[in-house]
Amino acid sequence: MSNKFESLSLQNIRKEFPGVLALDNVSLKAEAGKVHALMGENGAGKSTLIKILSGAYTKDAGNILFNGKEINITSPNDSLNYGIKVVYQEISLIPEFTVGENIFLEKFPLNRLGAIDWKKLYDDCEKLLQGIGFNLDVREKVANLSISEQQIIEIARAIFQNASVVVMDEPTSSLTPKEIDKLFQVIERLKNNDISIIYITHKIDEIFKIASDVTVLRDGKFISHRNINDTSEEILIQDMVGRKVDQKFERPLNTFSEVQMNVKNLSTLSKLDNISFKLHRGEILGFFGLMGAGRTELAKAIFGYDKILNGKIEIQGNVYEKFNTQTMVNNGIGYVTEDRKGEGIINDMNLRENMSLPSLGLFEKFLIINKVKEKKLANQYIEKFEVKTPSSERLITLLSGGNQQKILLSRWLLRELKIIILDEPTRGVDIGAKTEILKLINDLAKDGLSVILMTSEMNDLLSLSDRIIVMAGGKISKEFSKDIATQEEIFKAAAI
């Protein structure tokens, strides 16, 4: 790469995964010395686009132009050769190595004998960090640095050779306001060095501080490209969430009176800060939050999986301050995880065994599990939810995502249940199964089950929930009743 970097443009990029159109005709132009913000909800297609840029995925259609000339990116190596560097959210430094070692990890400078030239390494490292306006002891172990310092080292590592475009994925999500300022100063330096930055974030206010252009994606589609001076917070939110809410479900209009669960001042060590809410019988309570808002953490804390630091939960007169998952399951609560593969299905078990796991007591007589009875009930639910499988004895890993999800729902529905916590119940599920699952949730609530619905799908949230609680940064930021909730208001409450 000898000629000077001017611009990188993505034109009409398309990427399809089995059953999902992840990117449909998306375009974006990153110019030297400018920050181009990329925005959109969870699942809008931002990460797919970045993965195409970094060579992790290959595009199905469209062009990538580098300084106006078409290029081909088919592997991460291609992307690096053009100076496209991605700084991911998670820090990938080696904690026990020094700053200098981490930055030059892939390419240690060697002396004539072939050994590492430590003096050159640390001198170069100092020059590099000064170049981006950052003073730090290059011989310090990374483990002793703050998160923001580590992040800046990640950036330094990305740009130490011929960077043209630096992609930053939610770089401020774990930083304090002071640290964010520091990061922005570094970004200013990068701009002065004619590097282009593609900046992915949920935080609207940041964009107005550093970006010159904003591109918004929604559901894999290109929605808008605006100059920062021609836009406003309202316009951006409109762009991000402005889809029509279809599929209205008929929810009973009555007000809910009987309190099923009362969560009081719940806090955890990791994230949650003083969460309180009530859940009524037969109510669908929607929870919305952007990445890192603490929804899953809340679900797991209520369910007894994560230890709580403070607070208590009242379920039908019983007050719990110390509890585990067993307590909650015995109280008629069920939880369907967002991480189906990691925390949901049990690979070594068939459908029947996966379904009956929390409820083996139902089939037990004199310690023996009545497998005939178990199989019968399993088949009943397989039929009811139209799970596509030849038999209940099939290994669960052989099923599609949607069918696995139905099995995990059955795991709870086959027992007596008062409350079900659903964490992203329709993620990775095809459209057909999705509608079925939503309809099922509605029917269950009508029968008196209380549902906590945690979802990033604005559509599902608005069409099913009786009440919506919006979370941000581990706190409840706002609560909406069904009739006053709008996509714009919800998003605004989430993006603080």
Partner 1 sequence: MLKYFKSNESILFFLLIILCIFLSFYNPQFYSIQNINSILRSSSTVMIVAFGMTILLTSGEVDLSVGALMSFVTVIVMDVINISGSLFLGFLAVFIFCLMIGLINGLVRTMLNVNSLIATLAMMLILQGSVYIYSMAAIYNTHLLPFFTFIGQGFVFKIPMPVIIMLFILPFFIFLLNYTKYGRYFTAIGSNPSSSSLSGINNNKFKILGFVITSLLVGVAGIILASLMDTGQQGSAKGFELIVIAAVLLGGTSFKGGSGTVIGTILGILILKVIDNGIILMRIPQEFQLVVPGVILILAVYFDTLRKEKNV
* Near partner 1 by CB under 8 A: residue from 35, 285, 315, 345: 345
Both tokens of residue 491? Answer: 């998003």
- Give the integer Cα–Cα distance in Å for 339 and 146: 30
Quote the DSSP letter at residue 142.
G
Name which of 133 and 358 has its Cβ closer to partner 1.
Answer: 358
- Give the integer Cα–Cα distance in Å for 246 and 260: 30
Name which of 245 and 357 has its Cβ closer to partner 1.
Answer: 357
Radius of gyration, alpha carbons of the chain? 26
- Taking CB under 8 A as the binding criterion, the range among 16-24, 260-268, 314-322, 352-360 that sits at the site for partner 1 is 352-360
Q: Are strands 213-218 and 221-227 parallel, antiparallel or unpaired?
A: antiparallel
Supply the minimum distance, in Å, between the C-beta of residue 329 and partner 1: 3
Q: Are 61 and 12 in contact (CB under 8 A)?
A: yes
Place of tokens 């929930």: 465
455 Cα distance to chain centroid: 11
Name which of 171 and 332 has its Cβ closer to partner 1.
Answer: 332
Ramachandran class of 175: left when φ > 0, alpha when ψ lies in -120 to 50, beta otherwise: beta
- Give the integer Cα–Cα distance in Å for 165 and 87: 11
Measured in degrees and rounded to the nearest 5, phi and psi for residue 272 equal -70, 140
Helix residue spans in 271-416 (DSSP H): 295-302, 325-330, 351-356, 371-384, 401-413
Which residues ranging from 410 to 469 are in contact with partner 1 (CB under 8 A)? 411
- Taking CB under 8 A as the binding criterion, the range among 76-84, 200-208, 335-343, 382-390 that sits at the site for partner 1 is 335-343
* Near partner 1 by CB under 8 A: residue from 44, 328, 444, 493: 328
- Give the integer Cα–Cα distance in Å for 380 and 371: 14
- Taking CB under 8 A as the binding criterion, the range among 12-20, 191-199, 329-337, 472-480 that sits at the site for partner 1 is 329-337
Binding mask 272-311 for partner 1 (x = CB under 8 A): -------------------------------x-x------
- Give the integer Cα–Cα distance in Å for 402 and 408: 10
Contact between 343 and partner 1 by CB under 8 A: the answer reads: yes
Contact between 335 and partner 1 by CB under 8 A: the answer reads: yes
Tell which residue, 276, 419, 267, 420, has the closest CA to residue 337: 420
- Taking CB under 8 A as the binding criterion, the range among 232-240, 271-279, 353-361, 457-465 that sits at the site for partner 1 is 353-361
- Give the integer Cα–Cα distance in Å for 311 and 313: 7
Binding-residue total with partner 1 (CB under 8 A): 31
Name which of 454 and 472 has its Cβ closer to partner 1.
Answer: 454
* Near partner 1 by CB under 8 A: residue from 367, 447, 483, 484: 367
Name which of 220 and 344 has its Cβ closer to partner 1.
Answer: 344
* Near partner 1 by CB under 8 A: residue from 193, 265, 326, 486: 326
- Give the integer Cα–Cα distance in Å for 37 and 213: 6
**Cβ count within 10 A of residue 152:** 25
Supply the minimum distance, in Å, between the C-beta of residue 263 and partner 1: 18
* Near partner 1 by CB under 8 A: residue from 283, 338, 353, 424: 353
Contact between 318 and partner 1 by CB under 8 A: the answer reads: no
Contact between 347 and partner 1 by CB under 8 A: the answer reads: yes
- Give the integer Cα–Cα distance in Å for 84 and 167: 8
* Near partner 1 by CB under 8 A: residue from 253, 368, 372, 484: 368
Contact between 344 and partner 1 by CB under 8 A: the answer reads: yes
Return the H-helix or E-strand segment holding 77. helix 76-81
Which residues ranging from 379 to 418 are in contact with partner 1 (CB under 8 A)? 395, 397, 411
Supply the minimum distance, in Å, between the C-beta of residue 403 and partner 1: 16
- Taking CB under 8 A as the binding criterion, the range among 55-63, 191-199, 246-254, 357-365 that sits at the site for partner 1 is 357-365
- Give the integer Cα–Cα distance in Å for 166 and 128: 16
Name which of 21 and 395 has its Cβ closer to partner 1.
Answer: 395
- Taking CB under 8 A as the binding criterion, the range among 128-136, 140-148, 192-200, 350-358 that sits at the site for partner 1 is 350-358
Contact between 338 and partner 1 by CB under 8 A: the answer reads: no
Q: Are 201 and 207 in contact (CB under 8 A)?
A: yes
Name which of 253 and 368 has its Cβ closer to partner 1.
Answer: 368
Which residues ranging from 24 to 83 are in contact with partner 1 (CB under 8 A)? none
Contact between 348 and partner 1 by CB under 8 A: the answer reads: yes
Quote the DSSP letter at residue 385.
T
Tell which residue, 259, 335, 260, 269, has the closest CA to residue 299: 335
Beta bridge partners of 38: 200, 215
Binding site for partner 1 (CB under 8 A): 303, 305, 324-326, 328-330, 335, 337, 342-349, 353, 356-358, 360-361, 364, 367-369, 395, 397, 411
